[in-house]
A and B are shown apart, each in its own frame.
Chain A
Amino acid sequence: MGDSNIESQNTSGIDVRLDNFEGPLDLLLYLIRKDDLDIYDIPIAQITQEYLSYLDIMKELNLESVGSFLVMASTLMQIKAQMLLPSPESEENEGPDPRAELINKLLEYQRYKEAALILAGYGEKEKDIFYRAAGPEFENDDFSLTASVFDLLKSFQRVLDQAPREIGKILREEIPLEVKIREILDRLEENVSIGFAELFTPGMSRREMIVIFLALLELIRLRQISARQSEMFGEIRIFREAVVLAETSIPGEEPSPNPPTEANS
């Protein structure tokens, strides 16, 4: 799925993104812990120096993605400079601590790290608990006709007709097809079927509607879903296909490590 993320690919073809593992805030928290520093009173000069030495190693290793680390380095140096400058206000009124923003960020981030740790513990407790994964499949007598592509087009035309025409400027939004595909599959995860019209909500832009429609066609082609109706020209409902073809992968998605393998065919 990572193909949307062009900036992570460097020219050498090697894609080591350090910040997929740990980021600059992690490094700062690490240094604070290592040197047993007071997070509320960080000795900026000391920590900047240590931070920069780590940055040197990263550069040495030629890690392409030190961008976020560089940004933090310049923030640190800026704070350091501000601390050195005599405050324009006199001694009794020192003005805001230049470190305050950074400290708040670190504290906030630390809390999420803590929460993540607790969550990991919860996850550990659950790791041996399993649920039934797929329910029984039913023959659906009501929606036994497969809708043709013309039925779909006609229904979509109706949806578009009801949608307001956008006038003037339009935000060119990026709506990747995969996202819509995923959304449709997700909704079918929770419901056996969705009404065709329910896929489109009033606030949607025409562009978004078109992408949803294309996603629908793609999923039908991949036989992940089917469009059915109970009578000719009747209401169309989208159903999850009972038979999941393990080898069909969704475009832009790597084969998942846990393919849904259903035995019924």
Chain B
Amino acid sequence: MELNDVKKILEALLFVAEQPLPVKALEELFEKEFSKEQIETLLQDIAREYEMRGSALIMREIAGGWQFSSRPEFGPWIRKLFKERLTYKLSNSALETLSIIAYKQPITRGEIEEIRGVEVSAVLDTLMERRLVKIAGRKETIGRPLLYGTTAEFLKSFGLKRLEDLPSVESLVPPAGIEDEAKTEEPANDSLDKDAAEGSKIEDIERN
């Protein structure tokens, strides 16, 4: 297969993709006939071509993959077309909770509350509803509290390619290596061994 054909295929794939396409997935799609670097270069070529031709679309690396988006200057028109889908701006408390989760994931509700000094369940619900936050497993401590983490939607909403791109604030280090597909079940990170700071509910233990 000619590289030029591959480029066209990639363009078609990206056109229909509703999620960012990771380079790795593309490599597998072509059954490793092409290296990651080759694919990466082709993707960048496509991105550049769109840019040069002054297209209304941008091809960009976002949330762990590549995807087309519309250019920001057309935002108001898109908003107008889809006005019934309008969402609300996140409140400060939602943003703060989100940033705590982003840096400290996977994290339990109790641990978030410990940092914020207030109850966060309502805010968490909002963040889950907006799909910025997801359940990332359970912590293996008393009560097995749920762990929360951020989603690909979170990365998209804030224009981040990956979690490591979080702004580094003094002594706040973006979590490295936590794959977004950490999925459910086992906490991806066992180092969180300080006992569950369960400021909230102490789950009852019962004989069954």
**Structural contact, A24 and B122, CB atoms closer than 8 A:** no
Question: Are B18 and A132 closer than 8 Å at their CB atoms?
Answer: yes
Mask of A186-201 contacts with B, CB within 8 angstroms, 1/0: 1101100000000001
**Which of chain B's residues have a CB closer than 8 A to the CB of A168?**
207
Q: Is the interface of B mostly helix, strand, loop or mixed?
A: mixed
Assembled-state Cα–Cα distance A8/B123 (Å): 13
A260 to chain B, nearest CB (A): 9
**Given A169-B207, A257-B88, are A116 and B99 also a contact pair (CB < 8 Å)?**
yes
Closest to A15 in B: B122
* B-side contacts of A179, CB under 8 Å: 135, 146
B35 contacts the other chain (CB 8 A) = no
Listed residue (B95, B118, B123, B206) with the most chain A CB atoms within 10 angstroms of its CB: B118
Pair B146/A204 contact, Cβ less than 8 Å: no
A96-111, CB under 8 A of B: which get 1 and which 0?
Answer: 0000000001001101
Minimum distance in angstroms from B208 CB to a CB of chain A: 4
A35 within 8 A of B: no
Q: Identify the closest chain A residue to B74 (Cβ).
A: A128
Tell me if B5 counts as interface (CB < 8 A to partner A). no
Answer whether residue A61 sits at the interface, using C-beta atoms and an 8 A cutoff: no
Residues on A with C-beta less than 8 A from B117 are 23-25, 68, 72, 105, 109
B102 CB-CB contact with A under 8 Å: yes
- Residue B164, interface by CB 8 Å: no
A153 in the interface (beta carbon within 8 A): no
Q: Does B160 contact A (CB under 8 A)?
A: yes
Any B CB within 8 A of the CB of A19: yes
One of A123, A131, A253 near B69 (C-beta < 8 A)? A131
Q: How far is the CA of A136 from the CA of B17 in the complex (A)?
A: 8
Which stretch, A44-52, A170-178, A213-221, touches the partner chain B? Answer: A170-178
Contacts of A170 in B (CB 8 A): 206-208
Report chain A residues within 8 Å CB of B79: 128
Question: Which residues B137-155 have CB closer than 8 A to chain A?
Answer: 142-144, 146, 151-152
The yes or no answer to B31 lying at the interface (CB within 8 A) is no
Cβ A183 vs Cβ B184 within 8 A:
yes
Q: Mark A114-153, 1 if CB is under 8 A from B, else 0.
A: 1111111011011111111111100000000000000000
Q: Is the CB of A23 within 8 A of B166?
A: no
Binary per-residue interface labels of chain B (111-143) against chain A in the complex, 1 for a CB within 8 Å, 0 otherwise: 000011111011101001101001100000011
Additional A-B contacts beyond A23-B116, A129-B75, A135-B18 (16; CB < 8 A): A20-B93, A72-B117, A109-B117, A111-B169, A116-B95, A123-B90, A123-B158, A128-B74, A129-B58, A129-B70, A131-B18, A170-B208, A179-B135, A186-B131, A189-B131, A201-B185
Interface residues of A (CB under 8 A from B): 1-2, 4-5, 8, 17, 19-25, 68, 72, 105, 108-109, 111-120, 122-123, 125-136, 166, 168-174, 179, 182-183, 186-187, 189-190, 201, 203-204, 253-254, 256-259, 261
